[in-house]
Homo-oligomer: A and B are copies of this chain.
Amino acid sequence: MKKEEKGKIRIVDIAKMAGVSIGTVDRVLHNRPNLSTKSREKVEAVLKEIQYQPNRSASALARSKPLEIYAFIPQHAIGTYWEDVIKGMQHASGEYSDFKVRTTIAYYDPYNLYAFEVSAQQLLDAQPDGVIMVPTEPHYSRKVVDKLNEAKIPHLFIDSEIPAYQPLAFFGQDARKSGYFAARMLMLLNPMHEPLLVFRKIYAGISGSNQQDRRQQGFETYMTNKYPDVPIHYLDLPAMQPDEDELMLDRFFADHADAKVGVIFNSNAFIIGHYLAKKNRSDFHLLGYDLIKQNINLLQDGHIDFLIDQSPKKQGHLCVQTLCDYILFGTKPAPYNYIPIQLVTHEILDDFIQSEMEYD
C-alpha cells in the first residue's frame, strides 16, 4: 500500500520496459486477439515483476460502452424486503455511474416454472455483462446458472446460497447460524422455560424461501442441544386471506396458553405482531426478521421484542460493487460474504435505520 504511491507505473512504462507499444500491452491486459506469442510473453514477463494497478479514473473515463448489470429478483416482493435490496443496488449503480454502469432489475415469479423460464430467457437475451440473482428453488435456478456459465457471464448469489452451483460469490446471512442465535435470544426472554411457538408462512404449499427453512433448522439445533425439554409448537399460516389467520391464531394461542415467547423466520412478523396488538397481549414476546416498515412500527410499540436485521441495502450495494470491480478491474471477491447477524431492539432501532439510509 505504500510502494505505488510515488512512481505509479503506467501503461506506457510497461510498454517501454517490454519494448513494445502500448496497444500491445493493452491486448495482453484485456487478452484481446491479434498478437504474437513472443510479444505476449515479453509483456507478461514485465507484468509479473511489477504489479500493475491501472488507474481506475482513466480507465473509467476511456471506456466507451456501458457495463450492463442485471439483477434477477423474485417479483412477489414489492413493498417488502427486496425493495431495500434493490435500493442498495441502485445506490451503488449511481455511485458507479461515472464508470458507465447501468443496473437493470428483472423480476421473476418464483412460484411459476413457466413464467420463470420466460423471464430467464429474457435476461439471457439481454446479454448482460454481469448478473446478480436470488436463487430460490434449486431446480429452477440450475438452468439459469448453467446458461450463465455457458455464456461466461459472471454472476453472484444474494440472500440464499446454493454452494454446489459455484457462483462468483455469495452475499447474505448464514441462515442456520442466525436461527441458532435467535433461539439463544428467545431463551433469554424465556427464563421459566415455557413452551416456544414457531410461526411459519406457507405460500401455495411451498415453503417460500430456503432461508426460512435453514433458520428453523438452526433454531432447532440450538433447542435440541441446550433445552431439549422445552416444548416447541408450530403453526403454519397459509396466509392467503388474512381473516383466516386470526381464527387460526386464536385457536393456536388458546391451545398453548402457557407459551410466552414466539418466533417467525421471515419478514412476516408483523402478522403476528398485529394480532398481538389487536388482542392486547403485551405479555407475549416475539422475535422476527427484517426491518420492514410494518415490523418497525410494531417494534416501536413493543409488540415485537427483537428483529434480526440483514442490512438489505448494504447487501444490494455490495453485490453491485463487487460485480463491477470484478468485471472492470478483475478484483476477485471472497466466495462467501456473510452479513453480520444484527439484533435490533426498539432502543437501538434508529441507528440501524439511519445507518442503512447511507445507501438510499
Q: A78 an interface residue at 8 Å Cβ cutoff? A: no
> Residues of B contacting A184 with CB < 8 Å?
345, 347
Q: A257 an interface residue at 8 Å Cβ cutoff? A: no
User: Contact at A348–B181, with CB atoms within 8 Å?
Assistant: yes
Question: Of A135-143, A196-204, A262-270, A336-344, which stretch is located at the interface?
Answer: A336-344
Question: Of A16-24, A54-62, A118-126, A241-249, which stretch is located at the interface?
Answer: A54-62
Q: A352 an interface residue at 8 Å Cβ cutoff? A: yes
> Residues of B contacting A224 with CB < 8 Å?
none
Using A57-B99, A60-B57, A347-B180 as known contacts, say yes or no to A94 and B1 having CB atoms under 8 A apart: yes
Interface size class of A (residues with CB under 8 A): 35 or more
Quick one: copies of this chain in the complex? 2
Residues from 156 to 179 in A contacting B, C-beta threshold 8 Å = 173-174, 177-178
> Residues of B contacting A174 with CB < 8 Å?
351
Q: A354 an interface residue at 8 Å Cβ cutoff? A: yes
Closest residue on chain B to residue A347 by CB atoms: B181
Give Cα A337–Cα B178 distance, bound, in whole angstroms: 27
Give Cα A187–Cα B94 distance, bound, in whole angstroms: 44
Cβ contact of A338, chosen from B338, B347, B351, cutoff 8 A: B351
User: Contact at B340–A177, with CB atoms within 8 Å?
Assistant: no
- List 10 interface pairs A-B (beta carbons < 8 Å), by A numbering: A1-B90, A55-B98, A56-B57, A178-B348, A181-B347, A188-B189, A334-B354, A338-B350, A340-B348, A341-B348
